[in-house]
Amino acid sequence: MTPLIVLGAVVVIVIALLWWAVATYNALVKARTQVEASWAQIDVQLKRRHSLIPNLVETVKGYAAHERGTLESVIAARGAAASAAGPAQQAQAEGMLTQALGRLFAVAEAYPALKANQNFLQLQGELGNTEEKIAYARQFYNSATQTYNQKIQTLPTNLIAGVGGFHARPYFEAAAGERADVNVRF
C-alpha cells in the first residue's frame, strides 16, 4: 500500500466519523426539542385547566357558600399547581389539585340545583374535555421523553450525549393520589 492510499483511507474514516457525530448530535437535539415542545403542550393545557377553576369555584360558591374549606382548598391547590416548575413538581401539584377538585364535585352532589345549573354543567364539561387533553399531552410527553432518554443512554449515541451535555429528562408521573381509582358520579 502506498502512503497516499493509507492517507486517503484515513481521511475517509475521519470524514465518516465526523459525519456520524454531527448526525448523532442533530438527532439528539431534535429529540430534546421534541421533549421541550411536548412539555409546552402540557403547560398550555394545565393553564387552561387553571383558568377554568375560578369560574367553577364561583359557581359552586353561589350554591354552597358554607363549603368554604373545600372552596379554599381548591383555590390553594390551583395556586400551587400554577406556580409549580418541572414535571416532578408539576405532577405532585396537579395531583393535589385533582384531589381538591374531586372534593369540590363531591360537594356539588349534595346540591341538586347546582348540578342542574347550566354554567356549572358547561364548566364541568370544559374541565372534562381539558382533562382528556392533559392526559393525551402527558402521554405524548412521556413518549418523547422515553425516546430521548433511550437515545442518550445507548451506545454509541451516549458518547456524543455525554460530550454534548445531554441529560435524562424526568417522566410526568401520576402523584400517589391520582393512582387511586376515581369515583365519578354526575
34-179: CATH class: mainly alpha
Which of 27-31, 89-93, 177-181 is the most confident on average? 27-31
User: Mean pLDDT over residues 70-95, rounded?
Assistant: 90
In the predicted structure, residue 185 carries a pLDDT above the cut 50? no
The domain ranges of the chain are: 34-179
* Amino acid 182: pLDDT: 44
pTM as predicted: 0.81
> Mean pLDDT across the stretch 13-41?
96
In angstroms, the CA 41 to CA 143 distance is 13
Nearest CA to 88 out of 174, 178, 179, 177 is that of 174
Contacts of residue 171, Cβ cutoff 8 Å, sequence gap at least 6 = 87, 142, 145, 146
User: Quick one: pLDDT band at residue 38, thresholds 50, 70, 90?
Assistant: very high
